[in-house]
Amino acid sequence: MKILHTVSSFGKESYGLGSISMGIAKAQFELGEDVYVWSSDTKDDIVWASQLYDFPQERLLGFPPNIPLLKISSSELREALRNKSFDIVHQHSLWTSKSLVTSLLNKNGAKTCIAAHGTLSEFALKKSKFKKEIALALFERNNLNKVSVLHATSEYEIEDYKRIGLENPIAYIDNGVGTTIMLEKGDGEAFKSNYQLPSDKKILLYLSRITPKKGLDMLLPAIAELKEHFDDWILVIVGNDEFNYQLEVEKIVKELNLENKIFIIEPQYGKDKFNAFDAADFFILPSYSEGSPMVVVDALAYGLPVITTKSSSWKDLNENKCGYWVDINKDAIKQSLLRMIALNDHQLFEYGENAKKLVIDKYLWNEISKKTILLYNWMINKDLKPDFIY
């Protein structure tokens, strides 16, 4: 079976989408499948991704856009027009030229699958609403209607598909992590030293894009209201700035007099990311909207308990005592922080051990990828429908 994954980027700044597409591709390749990944990345990003994910470089193709206004690569479109070799095309996310690529390969006989990864949530659809309505009318709805299967990575995403009237079969398959992350060991002391973080404070780590939908405007006031309760902790915000939102975050920090409690630093990749994980005591992602955020799985796999909002399906955190899954508002986040602060060192350790156990039991790519192969076989042969397809 010849499989293609399409994604806007698997490079350094791709964050979750890159690790998801590469995680699935690598696990499928290790199962003996003939797997390729197309992106809009440059040669440097291809080399970086090949080394990071230990994936054959010749199976990673990058098509940098050469039509800037439309962010489309003419060479990628030509390749999609002529290529009739793929049995399966698995598209990751929407609203990019990859949707046109999927449509063209579908016309050439490939069975297609789309994972929206949160891009069809109500919150996401409100952002650049007019542009997305135009995209839906011109190509995206047609692309969605014609795919063999919609891939949902959370229960919420199943509802997202249904809410906009899609009637395709829906496969519910979680995101995961590779087994190697369970063996990684970062250097937390080096991380603290490099960024001059106070050595006597516990660290609540935020590692994601610095962007409006991630809920920092709820988290910062929640910390401000905790006052002396948060004295033994600091919040470290790690990520790349999107839409110049970091300036707004810095403004909130100053207005709330949180300069001694909040530290904002540059993005961390590869080993540096594990150093950040190693320095942290708890992880937080207070989003308004998500699909199934990979950074949550990564943090859990490293042994960090997690606080996240009900923007994605993470009831596992509460049920497995490895964090808190809370409502999307400041007060709920504040209450979860109070519960975190009340944990002693032994309890923090137990929460971290529970986090790793949850990942081993449920979120490793080698088992999740077997589900994707069952899905693909059903898409091609339409026999023995898997029980995770609705």
Same domain, 131 and 96: yes
Are residue 23 and residue 86 in the same domain, yes or no?
yes
Position 310 in a domain: yes
Burial 214-249 (b: 16+ CB within 10 A, else e): bbbebbbbbbbebeeebeebbbbbbbeeeeebbeeb
Q: Do 270 and 148 share a structural domain?
A: no
199 and 150 in one domain? no
The pLDDT of residue 135: 84
Tell me: do 218 and 148 sit in the same domain: no
Distances (CA, A) of 376 to 2, 116, 221, 363: 10, 17, 46, 20
Q: Catalogue the long-range contacts made by 129-132 (C-beta closer than 8 Å, 24 or more residues apart).
A: 132/95
In a domain, 387, yes or no: no
Model confidence pLDDT, tens digit, residues 165-208: 999 999 999 999 988 888 889 999 999 999 999 999 999 999 99
The answer to whether residue 70 scores a pLDDT higher than 80 is no
> Does 197 lie in the same domain as 162?
no
Q: What is the mean pLDDT of residues 268-293?
A: 93
User: Is it the case that residue 139 has pLDDT exceeding 90?
Assistant: no
Look at the chain and report how many structural domains it folds into.
Answer: 2
pLDDT, residue 382, reads: 84
Residue 389 lies in a domain: no
State whether 157 and 220 are in the same domain: no
Q: Are residues 162 and 242 in the same domain?
A: no
Q: How confident is the prediction for the chain on average, in pLDDT?
A: 94
DSSP-derived secondary structure for 75-97: HHHHHHHH----SEEEEESSSST
Mean pLDDT for 82-93 is 97
Q: What is the per-residue pLDDT across 108-131, written as a single tens digit (0 to 9) for each? A: 999 999 999 999 998 889 888 888
Total count of residues recorded for the chain = 390
pLDDT above 70: percentage of residues in the chain:
100
Residue 259: its pLDDT value, please?
95
CATH number for position 33: 3.40.50.2000
Comparing CA positions, the residue from 27, 6, 39 lying closest to residue 110 is 6
Cβ atoms within 10 Å of 195's Cβ, excluding its own? 17
Instruction: Judge whether 276 and 197 are in contact, CB under 8 Å.
Output: no
- 349-371 tens-digit pLDDT: 999 999 999 999 999 999 999 99
Q: Which residue has the tokens 């610095």?
A: 210
User: Per-residue pLDDT for 12 more than 90?
Assistant: no
Task: Enumerate helices (H) and strands (E) in the chain, giving the number of each.
Answer: 17, 13
Q: Exposed, middle or buried: residue 353 (CB in 10 Å: 0-12, 13-18, 19+)?
A: middle
Lowest mean per-residue pLDDT among 11-15, 147-151, 247-251: 11-15
pLDDT tier, 83 (very low <50, low <70, confident <90, very high otherwise): very high
Q: For position 377, what pLDDT does the model report? A: 96
Q: With a cut of 80, say whether residue 69 has pLDDT above it.
A: no
Does residue 200 share a domain with residue 52? no
Instruction: Flag whether pLDDT at 291 surpasses 80.
Output: no
Residue 122 included in any domain: yes
Query: Does some domain include residue 388?
Result: no
- Higher pLDDT among residues 129 and 261, named by residue: 261
- Please give the helix or strand (H or E) that residue 347 lies within, else none: helix 345-362
Residue 48 predicted with pLDDT over 80: yes
d(CA 103, CA 70): 17
> What residues make up the domain containing 166?
2-176+364-381
DSSP assignment of 166-214, as one string? --S-EEE----B-GGGGG----HHHHHHHTT--TTSEEEEEES-BSGGG
For residues 326 and 213, membership in a common domain is answered with: yes
The residue with greater pLDDT, 135 or 301, is: 301
> Does residue 390 form part of some domain?
no
Residues 166, 258: one domain? no
- Of the listed ranges 24-38, 60-74, 215-229, 311-325, the least confidently predicted one is 60-74
Residue 280 has pLDDT above 80, yes or no: yes
**Looking at residue 136, what is its pLDDT?**
85
Give the percent of the chain with pLDDT over 90: 84
Non-local CB neighbours of 197 within 8 Å, separated by 6+ positions: 191, 203, 234, 236, 263, 279
> Whose structure tokens read 């042994």?
303
Same domain, 143 and 283: no
Tokens for 160? 């997202």
Element (H, E) at 43: helix 43-53
